[in-house]
Amino acid sequence: MNLLRDDDLGPLARRLLGLCDRLLGSLTQPDQRATVTGVRDRLCEPLRVAIGGREKAGKSTLVNALLGRRVAPTAVGTCTKVVTWYRYHHHEHVDVQPYEGPSIVLPLHGGRLPANEEIGLEHSRISHMTVYLSHERLRSVTIVDTPGLESSDARLSARTHRLLALDGASTRAISQADALIYLFQQPRSDDMLRLEDFRDALAGMSALNALGVLSRVDTLAGHVPDPWPDARRIATKYGHRFRMLVADVLPVVGLLGEAAGAGLLTERDASDLRALAALSAGTRRRLLLSADLFVREGTAPVPAARRRHLLSLLGLYGLRQALGQIDSGAGSAAQLVRVLYELSGVREVDTFIGRSLTRRADPMKAVTAIRTLESLAYGDLAGLRGELERIRLTPDMHQLEEMDAMRLIATGTARLPAELEEEALRVMTGTDPATRLGLTAGGGAPSVREAALAGASRWQAAENRPGTSRATARVARTVKLSYLHLYAQAGACGHAGEAIPCRS
């Protein structure tokens, strides 16, 4: 298993590891030791990101795009049947874990997952699979591809739910994920309920550690030449609707991202595309009216079999974009890959993982660890409660408090006026001081300090308002402290004549 190096561990993980080591030095009951050992091992692993959503929403296609390889099956008519973990290892292989019996170790077949007949087991007999790949992304993130939520096989849906459910003090806590990427294909009225199910399963889920992805945007409005205006409008609408459950909703063309990200477009493909680009405008327009016409047209200079391949690789939208790029001078496969990847929207998802999720990996994993250890603290180890509370009070734990505050807002436990709710969301989920404070980019430290002090004052008043519930007061205090942390980061601490505390 890929374990993080000591210098890659955050301060919270180090402190919790020390606590686990002290507990293991004193515990004698096997079940308690197993729980603490599981927590310790989990803290040393990379962040776990689950990919969830409905059946055929494009989860495996996105996984392939993010990994830069077509390793997960994505053919028409196929979907993920088994929970599949993607971890780092220099020796690439697949570990198949049945519900009963020993695991089965298999090589990748042509760089892809082996087919069911090659595994020798029916899907219903497999608990999960772990795919080990020598991909740099997997050094810091473990990706979990899950079966669709509306699988026709009831056992599959139950298995997905079981994978994502937190199980307290259970010694089998490997089913816990730290963050979620949820795919929408065509947003539906019950998506809020689906996301709430995930929130309940991942007890630490909030807009701080979840992202929505509007997948397959090239199919949203039929085969229009440019689906992006509609896609961005829909993504913005749903990003606002689900703002307490996901940080954002990003539109992507998964098929295009997979073809470009996984390097599936070859020089032969580029040559065929150049031949198609050389056709007259009228012939090209007729070819690209529909998938059926693209494959059936008999006058095209590229054989029908090759056109079917290009269609399966890029889709009609990708074909239009590729031909347009060739018109603009991008003729080689490498040039097309670079441009098509940018057009797919997948880079924005990858950036969210790299910047937003991995930046918060330490508090996310701390959430899981503390909640599992708290199950012991409220059982036989009451003395542990004080240790955990002291860890919660350290400055490094403030992001955990923000995650809890987001959860209180999302569940309706804490109730705020709409304008304060929007402000809380901005302050706790923004990725830079200017965004978090609602300032124009480029403002100096004085403007940051001024805005942070004003925000802290507003939320101090909200915390102390008569009749405020305990949950709402807790959220207000958390946001106030977020502002004070921003004040401190702007260099306020230690300046003569400035008595505002950096934290309280």
pLDDT digit string, tens, across residues 45-87: 999 998 888 878 889 999 999 999 999 887 655 556 788 899 9
Distances (CA, A) of 118 to 87, 442, 471: 21, 57, 54
**Residue 489, pLDDT above cutoff 60:** yes
Whether the pLDDT of residue 495 is over 90: the answer is: no
Parallel, antiparallel, or unpaired: how do β-strands 84-88 and 179-184 relate? unpaired
Separation of alpha carbons 479 and 455, rounded Å: 9
Of 229, 235, 171, nearest in space to 376 by CA: 171
Q: What is the pLDDT of residue 83?
A: 84
* Dihedral, 175, 176, 178, 183 alpha carbons, nearest 10: 50
- Is 69 exposed, middle or buried, given 0-12, 13-18 or 19+ CB atoms closer than 10 A? buried
In the chain, pLDDT over 70 holds for what percent of residues? Answer: 87
Contact 326, 265 (CB under 8 A): no
Quote the CA–CA distance of 455 and 433 in Å, as a whole number.
13
* Better pLDDT: 384 or 494: 384
User: Does residue 494 carry a pLDDT above 60?
Assistant: no
What's the pLDDT score for residue 73?
81
- Beta-carbon count within 10 A of 315 CB: 21
Least confident of 124-133, 188-197, 300-309, 398-407: 188-197
In the chain, CATH 1.10.287 sits at: 412-504
Per residue in 120-143, pLDDT (tens digit) is: 888 888 888 999 999 988 999 999
> 75 burial class (0-12, 13-18, 19+ CB within 10 angstroms)?
exposed
Q: Collect all residues with Cβ–Cβ distance below 8 Å to 386 and sequence separation of at least 6.
A: none
pLDDT of 195 reads 77
* Residue 167 vs residue 304, higher pLDDT: 304
- Is 429 in contact with 467 (CB distance < 8 Å)? no
Evaluated on CA atoms 147, 148, 152, 158, the torsion sign reads: positive
CB-CB contact of 85 with 44 (8 Å) = no
Joined together, the tokens standing for residue 39 give 């927590």
Which residues make up the CATH 3.40.50.300 domain(s) of the chain? 46-252+349-357
Which residues are registered as beta bridge partners of 129? Answer: 84, 96
- Higher pLDDT: 221 or 166? It is 221
Q: Helices (H), strands (E): how many in the chain?
A: 23, 9
Calculate ∠ Cα 42-45-49, nearest 5°. Answer: 95
pLDDT band for 8, please (50, 70, 90 cuts): confident
Question: Is it the case that residue 306 has pLDDT exceeding 50?
Answer: yes
Check residue 202 and give its pLDDT: 67
Q: Say what the pTM is.
A: 0.81
Range scoring the smallest mean pLDDT among 59-73, 324-338, 412-426, 431-445: 431-445
Q: CA triplet 446, 451, 456: central angle to 5 degrees?
A: 125
User: Hey, how many other C-beta atoms are within 10 angstroms of the C-beta on 179?
Assistant: 25
- 10 Å CB burial of residue 89 (0-12, 13-18, 19+) is middle
User: At the top level of CATH, which class does the domain 412-504 belong to?
Assistant: mainly alpha
- What is the topology classification, in CATH, of domain 46-252+349-357? Rossmann fold (3.40.50)
Q: What is the mean pLDDT of the chain?
A: 83
pLDDT tens column, 192-216: 777 777 776 666 667 778 899 999 8
